[in-house]
Amino acid sequence: MLASISHKSHSYKIDFSQPLDISISLRGDNKNPMAWYLDHPEIKPVKDGDFIGKVSEGSSVNFNNIWFNPHAHATHTECVGHISKEFNSLQQHLKIFFFKARLISIEPEKRGEDYVFTKGQISKSLNNIDSEAVVIRTLPNYIGKISRNHSHSNWPYLEEAAVAHIRELGIKHLLIDQPSVDKEKDNGKLLAHKAFWDYPKNIRYDATITELIYVPNKIEDGDYFLNLQPASFENDAAPCKPVLYKILDR
């Protein structure tokens, strides 16, 4: 299904029948990705007296409860409500869901015991960008990301200056294949989150961060269109299924 998309006075053609899913599915077992020291999610049938919500055990329907934390267990999109004293929900602030995006792959620099995405790396990768979104794929890239336990791993993170540069380029949607844009154990500083949302000075309420994505190696770096569709949760974050679409011509 071909469609023409207008963006900043340019027209682009994409094929909606060829989605490139960069989300990680939620599982109810320890093969699910985990972070922030939580156990794996649970997906279990409802039990009420003799009733078990499972067709294979005699019920007419499968009827499951699901327990999970969006920040720890799933590809999720978050708004400034993640760090603000006041309640801000993603549902309240995100009103547009389709953006031009650039996918970049970066091997973070080693600094002592840390691996850091630097301003220099980001600046080089985003040269001449005219997109509202950027998708960062960490190198090396491997399929094990979809089931990794990230807790106590000191994952790669973005330095504050790199995120400030992203913000200054006018990018409103930042996606990454790590549990956080910040260092795992930073004593609550959250420098990258604060730099991206320009918190608390000039808060960008309509800007979002999406974490715990997975971009397969077969998807090449470059410009795409991004469909960002989080679930309708009145919360600072919600599970999300980001999908990329190739630009067929210009």
pLDDT per residue as tens digits for the range 184-200 = 999 999 999 999 999 99
For the chain, residues with pLDDT lower than 50 are none
**8 Å CB contact between 122 and 162:** yes
Q: Is the pTM of this model over 0.95?
A: yes
pLDDT per residue as tens digits for the range 123-147 = 999 999 999 999 999 999 999 999 9
Task: Give the CA distances from residue 124 to residues 119, 120, 127, 140, in Å, rounded to whole numbers and listed in that order.
Answer: 8, 6, 5, 19
Give the torsion sign (CA, 228, 229, 235, 239). negative
CA distance 60 to 51: 10
The answer for residues whose C-beta is within 8 angstroms of residue 160's C-beta and 6 or more apart is 191, 192, 195
**8 Å CB contact between 246 and 20:** yes
- Residue 82: per-residue pLDDT: 98
For residue 44, the one-letter residue type is K
- Strand pairing category for 47-48 and 51-52: antiparallel
CA distance 34 to 179: 9
Q: Which two tokens stand for residue 216?
A: 């397969």
CA distance 115 to 34: 20
Which of 3, 2, 4, 247 minimizes the C-alpha distance to 130? 247
- Residue 5: per-residue pLDDT: 85
What are the backbone dihedrals phi and psi of residue 37, each rounded to the nearest 5 degrees, phi first?
Answer: 70, 20
Decide: helix, strand or coil at residue 44.
strand
What are the backbone dihedrals phi and psi of residue 30, each rounded to the nearest 5 degrees, phi first?
Answer: -80, 5
CA distance 213 to 179: 9
For residue 18, the one-letter residue type is Q
Which of 107, 48, 104, 69 minimizes the C-alpha distance to 223? 104
- Residue 10: per-residue pLDDT: 87
For residue 233, the one-letter residue type is F
Instruction: For the chain, give the longest Cα–Cα distance.
Output: 63
CA distance 166 to 195: 9
The answer for residues whose C-beta is within 8 angstroms of residue 112's C-beta and 6 or more apart is none
- Residue 250: per-residue pLDDT: 56
Q: Which two tokens stand for residue 14?
A: 């994409």
Fold of 2-24+70-249: Glucose Oxidase; domain 1 (3.50.30)
